[in-house]
């Protein structure tokens, strides 16, 4: 997501260099061509030898009832599960979009606890099993927009993080919620790389965290989350750029100060605290006015116009009434 120069002169590649859309497209086209041709068998055997973190259909079932939350179920065509689980950003497992699916098998997701800390009446370590039972699972079909200019439509399974927040009872002074994700150098090969200060930290204002669309997510496509998508639990905030949705959460901290988030520390001029999807505020190095929907990336596919708050303006617009969104980007 950013260029960062290391002391030894190494320059972190730009996202376009990591896997440009063109390279990705070429790869997909090549795969399609090869699958249809004589080389198909060779390719198939290579693909099965590749140690995937988790392939579609291999996860335990986790279904949710249809959500009644306003905006929680777009009717747009779903991104294919295989695309959503093989084109990922999870920098703890590598920089290339295909790295997390290849490398995240080392992530150990059980036992798992989430520490609830800070300005809260019921702090403690909450076991994953208890979090799974805390509220009824819902299916939410969300548009997801990455800051790099691509988007997907994903059926997530989880419940509003507001349900958990209500249970642990924040103190009146709590104004923000910090979400801290796992940083285990033994199982995550790129923790220690200088791209970011680890652990990966994200944060929301209390009213954003309490918004019913903000999802504590345990599954997708009716299965538990694949490791590359942030197992065993992650956040999903559909009106913000994807990087706000921290994966593999281990700590939720209530605070009176705006959290220092991983990307806003790494490149403050490029990534702000709010990071609401906004076609009118460009990234300093590229426009945010349009997006490429993964799966529609054929030769003649047109880009889609990016919508204000990723199309969730009716639900969340009032959270930002009167704010200068160029300043609070
Ligand atoms: N969470 C952690 N811990 N590490 C990461 O590198 N990447 C973010 C976000 N959460 C990231 C993370 C970014 S940039 C995006 S776009 C989304 O996860 C991607 O989620 P997906 O791979 O499930 O689509």
| DSSP letter string, 154-213 | EEEEEEEHHHHHHHH-B-TT--EEEEEE---TTT-TTBTBTTSPSSPEEEEEHHHHTSTT
| Domain contains 107 | yes
165 CA to centre of ligand 1 in angstroms: 22
Determine phi and psi for 243, rounding to 5 degrees. Answer: -70, -15
Whether ligand 1 lies within 6 angstroms of the CB of 143 is answered as no
306 CA to centre of ligand 1 in angstroms: 19
Domain, as residue range, for 89: 21-263
Closest residue to atom 22 of ligand 1, CA basis: 88
- Is the confidence at residue 95, as pLDDT, over 70? yes
175 CA to centre of ligand 1 in angstroms: 24
Pairing outcome for strands 176-181 and 249-255: antiparallel
Residue 5 — pLDDT band, cuts 50, 70, 90?
Answer: very low
Average pLDDT (33-59) is: 60
- For residue 119, the domain's CATH number is 3.90.420.10
| Domain contains 10 | no
The ligand 1 atom nearest the CA atom of 87: 22
**What is the total count of domains within the chain?**
1
**Mean of per-residue pLDDT scores for the chain:** 89
Task: Render pLDDT for 179-190 as a digit per residue (tens, 0 to 9).
Answer: 999 999 999 999
| Domain contains 78 | yes
Task: Render pLDDT for 269-316 as a digit per residue (tens, 0 to 9).
Answer: 999 999 999 999 999 999 999 999 999 977 788 999 999 999 999 999
Closest residue to atom 19 of ligand 1, CA basis: 89
> CA–CA separation, 135 vs 167, rounded Å?
10
* CA 21 to each of CA 17, 154, 235, 292, 325: distance values in angstroms, whole numbers, following the listed order: 9, 20, 26, 9, 28
Whether ligand 1 lies within 6 angstroms of the CB of 242 is answered as yes
- Is the confidence at residue 240, as pLDDT, over 80? yes
Average pLDDT (233-247) is: 98
DSSP 237-279: -TTB-GGGS-SSEEEEEEESS----HHHHH-TTT--S--B--T
| Domain contains 5 | no
Closest residue to atom 14 of ligand 1, CA basis: 243
Q: What pLDDT is stored for residue 46 in this prediction?
A: 44
Bridge partner list, 254:
118, 177
Q: What pLDDT is stored for residue 305 in this prediction?
A: 98
Q: What pLDDT is stored for residue 49 in this prediction?
A: 54
Residues 6+ apart with CB under 8 A from 307: 277, 279, 313
Closest residue to atom 5 of ligand 1, CA basis: 90
230 CA to centre of ligand 1 in angstroms: 8
Bridge partner list, 234:
217
The ligand 1 atom nearest the CA atom of 88: 22
Whether ligand 1 lies within 6 angstroms of the CB of 146 is answered as yes
Closest residue to atom 23 of ligand 1, CA basis: 229
| Domain contains 302 | no
| Domain contains 87 | yes
| Domain contains 134 | yes
Residue 260 — pLDDT band, cuts 50, 70, 90?
Answer: very high
- Is the confidence at residue 251, as pLDDT, over 90? yes
- Is the confidence at residue 18, as pLDDT, over 80? no
- Is the confidence at residue 66, as pLDDT, over 50? yes
Whether ligand 1 lies within 6 angstroms of the CB of 190 is answered as no
| Domain contains 324 | no
Residue 204 — pLDDT band, cuts 50, 70, 90?
Answer: very high
- Is the confidence at residue 45, as pLDDT, over 90? no
């Amino acid at each position: 997501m950013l260029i960062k120069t290391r002391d030894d002169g190494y320059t972190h590649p730009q996202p376009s260099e990591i896997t440009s859309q063109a390279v990705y497209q070429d790869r997909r086209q090549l795969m399609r061509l090869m699958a249809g041709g004589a080389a198909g068998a060779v390719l198939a055997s290579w693909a099965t030898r590749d140690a995937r973190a988790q392939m579609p259909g291999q996860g335990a079932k986790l279904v949710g009832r249809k959500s009644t939350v306003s905006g929680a179920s777009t009717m747009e065509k779903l991104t294919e599960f295989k695309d959503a689980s093989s084109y990922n950003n999870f920098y703890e497992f590598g920089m290339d979009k295909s790295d997390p699916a290849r490398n995240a098998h080392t992530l150990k997701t059980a036992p798992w606890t989430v520490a609830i800390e800070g300005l809260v009446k019921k702090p403690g370590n909450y076991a994953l099993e208890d979090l799974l039972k805390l509220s009824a699972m819902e299916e939410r079909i969300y548009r997801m927009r990455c800051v790099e200019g691509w988007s997907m439509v994903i059926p997530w399974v989880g419940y509003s993080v507001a349900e958990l927040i209500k249970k642990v009872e924040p103190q009146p002074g709590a104004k923000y919620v910090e979400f801290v994700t796992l940083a285990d150098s033994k199982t995550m090969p790129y923790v220690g790389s200088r791209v970011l200060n680890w652990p990966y930290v994200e944060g929301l204002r209390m009213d954003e965290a309490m918004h019913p669309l903000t999802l504590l997510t345990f599954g997708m496509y009716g299965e538990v989350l694949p490791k590359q998508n942030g197992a065993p639990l992650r956040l999903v905030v559909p009106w913000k750029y994807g990087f706000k949705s921290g994966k593999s959460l281990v700590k939720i901290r209530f605070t009176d100060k705006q959290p220092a988030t991983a990307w806003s520390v790494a490149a403050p001029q490029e990534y702000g605290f709010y990071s609401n999807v906004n076609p009118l505020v460009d990234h300093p190095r590229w426009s945010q006015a349009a997006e490429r929907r993964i799966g529609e990336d054929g030769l003649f596919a047109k880009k889609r116009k990016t919508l204000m708050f990723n199309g969730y303006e009716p639900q969340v617009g009032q959270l930002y009434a009167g704010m200068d969104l160029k300043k609070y980007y």
